[in-house]
Structure 1
Amino acid sequence: MQYHVNGYRYGDPTIQPAAPGREDGQGPLPEDVDVLIVGTGPAGTVLAAQLAEFPEITTRAVERRPGPLPVGQADGVSCRTVEMFDAFGLASTLTNEAYWVNETTFWAPSPQDRNEITRTGRIQDVADGLSEYPHVIVNQARMQEMLLDKAKKSASRFEVDYGLLATGLDVPDEPLAPVTVHLEETDEHGRGTGVSRTVRARYVVGCDGARSTVRASIGRTLHGDAQNHAWGVMDVLPVTDFPDIRKKAVMQSASGSMIQIPREGGHLVRYYVDLGDLPEEGRSFRDSTTYEDILAAAQKALHPYTLQARDVAWWSVYEVGQRLADGFDDVPAEQADLLDPRVFITGDACHTHSAKAGQGMNVSMQDAFNLGWKLAAVLTGRSPASLLSSYSAERQKVAQELIEFDKRWSSMIGSKVSDPDDPDAGGVAADDVEAHFVAGGEFTAGLSTTYEKSLLTGGTEHQHLAAGFRVGTRFHSAPVIRVADAKPQQLGHVHEADGRWRLYAFAGKSGFSADGDGHESALSALVRFLDEAPDSPVRRFTADSAADDAVFDVRVILQQEHHTVDVNALPAFLFPAKGAFGLRDYEKVFSAEKTNGRLLGLVPGLEATHDIYDLRRIDRERGALVVVRPDQYVSQVLPLEAQDDLARFFAGFMLEPGNDG
């Protein structure tokens, strides 16, 4: 963390100096804003935290509740979401508080007595090598609190405008005219009071849940089917003799299925309990089902083990179903090439599914992370408004994949277990459930998203140069050593949620050294191009008044050991001047040498056996340039010599300073 850049600072370094005019906070809700966020669930709080990093953008969020969410329903946090939280500087707080899902066990009817369950399998929940972060459990409300606290500490001094309900919006026909959002003040219960007001916004983002007013106002509809199958969910403080009480457990009993998920704090446990098919009068069934009914079903499924619930924190009954919106913005498909979107929907407003795949909150947050940097790029003049159409194009496909996965998983664990003594009765075998869980490991870790070739994502013709950084997927971090101070760290952790692009230049065999004939190395030529060439993206798209790395964060990874690198022999471009005093940034150059136990997550004294070149299959002879989007996804893998390709790529969607598009 760098925070003395403009002079010595004392106190909490996570609190940024307030932007001019924000010293006393953001002030009352104005009549005109750049971005209005409607709803502060998982997607809304991610979007708020990201846009708060840009105080020049007027971002506000309205929420019908009178204050922050006290208790959330979602709790499963995928590895990918923890990686995203690292970009906000929140991963360590998250993982320190969380329950870590280390193992998942599987239970099925005992062959001796099918009314009793027995353990049939045990697996490591997240396979080795998927991520440097674990799958964790943290209450949704606490995650949102972390994000809003981050936003409040930003230079924007962002805070939510509580007690305001969006009742509708008007999108004018004029392409550049603002959207008018109609609001109603609410009471302490979130109910409308009849007192109305309006706000005009350049962009509106509906993060307002499955009954989204924003979605309805732009004529979008959720399509899908319910499965007419009910599940109960409860968070309890249990007393039990079940041996796996502090492990995630998937249980299929003769009476029905159940999933157990231990919660943070050491004692709380969540149960998803199969209540069977809904009768025709499904609504009355849900209304008449009690917490005692759910507990009784859980106790029956857990037999021969006992379960007492000494306290219940929360419970509900829900119907399994999957629905997807027909578009994630306000532009009809037939006008996609003519109009730029001004209204967007995220999270439950555009996709709903069961909770058992553990992806609802995670995918919602990734929706917002995808959209946030694009809004910032447009509103700061870095990209044209046409960039925003890529949000729906990219995220609708991801949501469709989630729904398809959820259908398969819900069907699998909602099926009865087959009886070897009655093969004609049907059902699924216990080992089939475990096999399906293992096969979906990458998906449930949040790591299966692959963006297709587009304006923002290149082809795979050079993928062989860095096979482990798959184009279109998230940048898979690996350990390195920072040259200047010999600090071991994960390379991906230099990526902040600040809207910048990352250019990771992996040196070839020669590094910065000239060949025997005195010819410049490919790495040297690339750095010189980025620093000096008129068509360099860094020079072309960075304002003269801004720091060299204000738009593009260039990092170099060398193959030589860190103590053999002469820092003073490296190009000055890799030590950009910062702040009022022109201080040099010494954190841009790394060594790919194998690290020891000083690296977080390794046992002290344990030697690593691979470096980042081995782990991510980077061509040691030629090296590679890996281009990473602001939301941590790989856009391009290019040869170090591909300067023209690099220039053309960014010219396709970026604007020069002063060009409003």
Structure 2
Amino acid sequence: MQYYKSGFRGGSPDVKPAAPDRRPRDGFAALPDQVDVLIAGCGPAGLCLAAQLAQFPEIDTLIVEPKPGPIEKGQADGVNTRTMEMFQAFGFGEQVKRESYWVNQTAFWAPDAANADHITRIGRVQDVPEGSSEMPHTLLNQARVHELFLEVMKNAPTRLQPSYGWALRDLQIDPDTEDHPVTVTLENTGVNAGELKTIRANFVVGCDGARSNVRRAIGGEMHGDAAHQAWGVMDILANTDFPDIRQKCLVASANEGNMLILPREGGYLFRLYVELDKLNPEERVAERNFTADDMIAAANRILQPYMIDVKELVWWSIYEIGHRLTDRFDNVPAGQDRDPRVFTAGDACHTHSPKAGQGMNVSMQDSFNLGWKLAQVFKGRSAPSLLRSYSAERRAEAKRLIETDHQWARIMSAPPGQSELDGSDMPRFQKQFIENLEFTGGLAVKYEGSALIGPPTHQALAPGFEIGCRFHSAPVVRVADAMQMQLGHLAEADGRWRIFAFAGADSGAGSPLYDLAAWLAEDPHSVLRRYTPADADIDAVIDLRAIFQQSFDVLLDQQVPALLRPKTGPFGLQDHEKIFCVDHKGAGDIFEMRGVDRASGCMVVVRPDQYVAHVLPLEAHQALSAFFDGIFLPAQSG
């Protein structure tokens, strides 16, 4: 972590210097008449987006929420490995690792062949496949995740805080103006209930849930189906003789239904997803009047010969499985050639079962995709047409999520008699779980070729950094201080692009890596000189890092290009943290782990949301320029 660049100051380095002209954000501040971005909803998607935009003082962001304050318990709890990688970029990944339950193993229970009324353990699998991520799969109360995002917002230069007690009721878009064309009507849900407030915005993002008013206002419709199956979920403090209660378990009984057990943070709390009854095609789950006692009784029937003695019911809910996807993620109908002004994210555009643990994760990945694009447009780095890519990228991924979760939910609700798949002795739910591990880890996302995703022409130079997929981190050593670390952890949620330059066998003066650094720093047509404002730090837009094959002690005395030790900030302080080498201390060789060509090296271009945008030879200066020309506008001062 780097700080003091602008001068020494005491206190937590997580608290950024406040922007001098920021708008008041406390609970008594009046709502503004106009904003740049209005976010509706303080769920995971809304708070993730707000935490990104809060870093940019030039963007006036307002986030509203109908509830009177933050949630305190319940709702989603699964944080997959991809989301943990994203949390690291926001600065609280290590905190989540410390507080959360780590899902290391998943156990499978099915009817005992000797006594079908009883269940028995039939298998166990490592929950996160070896080498798939440096981060664990964790479980943590959604309210705590919200709190961590709120802290990031409060500590950001804008000191952004939600405006609670306001619900978005409607919006209209004026097609004849570019100046705050979206007019939003908010309704007070608190002390002055019913009071209306009109605000004009440049952009609106609906993170307002499955019954989204934003989606309705732009004509979006949800399409899909329901499984007609009632499930209950509860967080409980309880005693039990079930031996795997502190491990994630998938349980299938012979006649009483299925259950999912998820241990929770803190060592005592755990969550149960309990299958209840089938519903008639026209029946809604609310009509059955299920209670918490119904769930507890069903759980005890499923667990026979074991039992659960509930001491405290912390939170519970009854739900019906449904899989629905909106026909649009923004306000522009298919086939129209114009830039969007209104977007939806999270449950506002896709809903699915909670048992695959994807709801909160995919919602945050939606807004993480959108946030840096909004910032890039507001900072004048890209044309507004960049925002068209949000719907193109995220709707395709949501469609795949719905299809996979649809299949998984039906397998989880299938009776054990239908458990064999393709003649295998392994029960269907166990086999499907193993096959889905990449998906449930959030690691199956792959964006297709576009202006933001280059062609795979040179993928062979680094097959382990797959173009269109998230940057798969690996261990390195920082040369300046011999610090062992993960290369991917250099990425912050700060809107910057990154170029990781891997040196080839020739890595001295005059080598391709040195020539690349010289071109970037000196050529007026290079991507750094073309897109970095003249009064900004050289790494303010695109951050170059170099990775060598030698050990750090060999590199300490080597002369390196000035761009790899740039002088930045108001004092022109030298940055010593741009140069890395392979980890010779035993954690792994990044060149070997990711298949980087040792002879020629390469550069890996990474987007602000941690996805690999391109892989190119170190000498491919013009190809790099051509790629960024399709995304960036020439730099403006300031």
Residue matched to 1:408: 407
Deviations for 1:59-96, whole angstroms, at most 9, x for unmatched residues? Answer: 11011111111224000000000000000011011111
For residues 68 and 449 of structure 1, the distance between their equivalents in structure 2, rounded to whole angstroms, comes to: 30
State the shift of 1:29 in Å. 2.4
Q: Could you tell me whether the CA contact under 8 Å between 1:164 and 1:184 is conserved in 2? A: yes
Alignment match, 1:37: 39
Match of 1:465 in 2: 461
- The answer as to whether partners of 2:54 and 2:160 remain within 8 angstroms in 1 is yes
The one-letter code of the counterpart of 1:132 is: E
Q: 1:286 Cα deviation (Å)? A: 4.5
2:242 is the alignment partner of 1:242: yes
Change (3 A) 1:57 1:491: same
Query: Normalising by the residue count of structure 1, what TM-score does the alignment of the two structures yield?
Result: 0.93
| Residue 530 of structure 2 is aligned to residue 504 of structure 1 | no
**Offset, 1:593:** 3.3
Letter in structure 2 aligned against 1:212? S
- Structure 1 letter corresponding to 2:476: V
2:117 is paired with a residue of what secondary structure? coil
Segment drifting more, 67-76 vs 501-510: 67-76
Q: Secondary structure at the match of 1:476?
A: coil
Cα deviation for residue 431 of structure 1 reads 2.8
Q: Distance in 1 between matches of 2:110 and 2:559?
A: 64
Q: How does 1:16-165 map to 2 (within 5 A)?
A: 16-22=16-22, 25=25, 28-165=30-167
Q: Name the structure 2 match of 1:654.
A: 632
Over 3 Å counting, the alpha-carbon distance change for 1:389 and 1:618 in structure 2 is same
| Contact 1:629 1:635 survives alignment (8 Å) | yes
Paired position in structure 2 for 1:635: 613
For residues 507 and 283 of structure 1, what CA distance do their matches in structure 2 show? 61
**Would you say the 8 A contact 2:462–2:594 is kept in 1?**
yes
Query: Is the 8 Å Cα contact of residues 54 and 156 (structure 1) preserved in structure 2?
Result: yes
CA distance in 2, matches of 1:231, 1:577: 58
Hey, which bits of structure 1, 4+ residues long, moved more than 6 A? 426-429
Q: 1:588 and 2:578 equivalent?
A: yes
**1: CA distance, partners of 2:177 / 2:250:** 51
Matched, 1:7 2:3: no
Q: Deviations over 1:430-450 (max 9, x none)?
A: 532211111110000000000
Find the residue that maps to 1:114 and give its secondary structure. Answer: strand
Q: Could you report, residue by residue, the CA deviation over 1:229-251 in whole angstroms, capped at 9, with x for unpaired residues?
A: 11111111111000001000000
Aligned to 1:316: 317
Please name the residue that 1:218 is paired with: 218
Q: Does 1:195 align with 2:195?
A: yes
Secondary structure of the structure 2 residue equivalent to 1:545: coil
Paired residue type of 1:398: E
Unaligned residue ranges in structure 2 (runs of 5+): none
- Tell me which residue corresponds to 2:522: 532
Q: Which residue of 2 aligns with 1:616?
A: 594
Are the equivalent residues in 2 in contact too, given 1:108–1:430 (CA < 8 A)? no
Partner deviation per Cα, 1:343-374 (whole Å, 9 max, x = no partner): 00000000000001100100000000000000
Alpha carbons 1:415, 1:427 under 8 Å: kept: no
- Measured after TM superposition, the shift of residue 287 of structure 1 is 4.4
Aligned partners of 2:74 and 2:315 also within 8 Å: no
Checking the alignment, whether the CA contact within 8 Å between 2:502 and 2:548 is kept in structure 1 is: yes
Q: Could you tell me how far apart the structure 2 residues matched to 1:397 and 1:430 are?
A: 32
Distance 2:31 2:544 in 1: 38
CA apart distance, 1:21? 2.1
1:281 CA displacement: 5.9
The answer for the alignment partner of 2:513 in structure 1 is 523
Match of 1:493 in 2: 489
- Residue of structure 1 equivalent to 2:436: 440
Pairing 1:160-199 to 2, within 5 Å after superposition: 160-174=162-176, 176-177=178-179, 178-187=181-190, 193-199=193-199
Deviation at 1:134, TM superposition (A): 0.5
Q: 1: CA distance between counterparts of 2:365 and 2:74?
A: 18
Letter in 2 for 1:270: R
Matched residues in 1 for 2:512 and 2:177: separation?
45
TM-score (norm 2): 0.97
- 625-634 vs 408-417, greater mean Cα deviation: 408-417
Cross-structure match for 2:549? 559
Code of the aligned partner of 2:135: Y
**2: CA distance between counterparts of 1:649 and 1:586?**
29
Q: Secondary structure at the match of 1:333?
A: coil
Take 2:418 and 2:535, find their aligned partners in 1: how far apart are those partners? 73
Q: Which residue of 2 aligns with 1:353?
A: 352
How far off is 1:531 after superposition? 0.7
C-alpha distance in 1, partners of 2:409/2:282?
22
Q: How many residues align?
A: 633
Deviations 1:405-444, CA, capped at 9 Å, x for gaps? 1011111111000289xx9xx9996532211111110000
CA apart distance, 1:504: 0.2
Evaluate the alpha carbon distance shift between residue 9 and residue 285 of structure 1 in structure 2; reply closer, same or farther with a 3 A threshold. closer
Shift of 1:566: 3.9
Q: Is the 8 A contact 2:534 2:637 kept in 1?
A: no
Counterpart residue identity of residue 546, structure 1: A
d(CA) in 1 for partners of 2:417, 2:294: 25
Deviation at 1:308?
1.1
Residues 1:566 and 1:316: Cα distance change in structure 2 (over 3 Å): closer
**Greater CA drift, 268-277 or 453-462:** 268-277
User: The residue matched to 2:406 in structure 1 has which SS?
Assistant: helix
Instruction: State the 1:22 CA deviation.
Output: 3.4
Tell me, in whole angstroms, the C-alpha distance in 1 between the residues paired with 2:380 and 2:307: 62
In the aligned structure 1, how far is the partner of 2:423 from the partner of 2:368? 40
What residue number does 1:576 align with? 566
RMSD: 1.8
Aligned residue for 1:354, secondary structure, equals coil
**Quick one: percent identity of the two aligned structures?**
52
- Deviation string, structure 1 residues 359-401 (Cα, Å, up to 9, x no partner): 0100000000000000000011010000000000000010011
How far apart, CA to CA, are the structure 1 residues paired with 2:414 and 2:426? 10
| 2:453 and 2:614 in contact (8 A); partners too | yes
Higher alpha-carbon deviation: 428-437 or 321-330 = 428-437
SS of 1:442's equivalent? Answer: helix
What is aligned with 1:418? 417
| Partners of 2:3 and 2:17 in 1: CA distance | 10
Q: Deviations over 1:489-519 (max 9, x none)?
A: 0000000000000000000001134xxxxxx
Q: Deviations over 1:276-329 (max 9, x none)?
A: 311356226654111111111110000000111111111111111100000100
Distance in 2 separating the partners of 1:579 and 1:353: 47
Change (3 A) 1:537 1:309: same
CA distance in structure 1 between the aligned counterparts of 2:195 and 2:565, rounded to whole angstroms: 55
Rounded to whole Å, the distance in 1 between the matches of 2:564 and 2:363 is 36
1:542 to 521, 532, 549: 532
SS at match of 1:316: strand
For 2:149 and 2:417, how far apart are their aligned partners in 1? 45
Written as runs of structure 1 = structure 2, the 5 A alignment for 1:337-416 is 338-416=337-415
Contact kept, 8 Å, 1:3 with 1:9, in 2: the verdict is no
* Residues 381 and 659, structure 1, Cα contact 8 Å, conserved in 2: no
Cα pair distance change 1:103/1:286, threshold 3 Å: farther
Taking a change above 3 Å as real, the CA distance of residues 285 and 148 of structure 1, as seen in their structure-2 partners, is closer
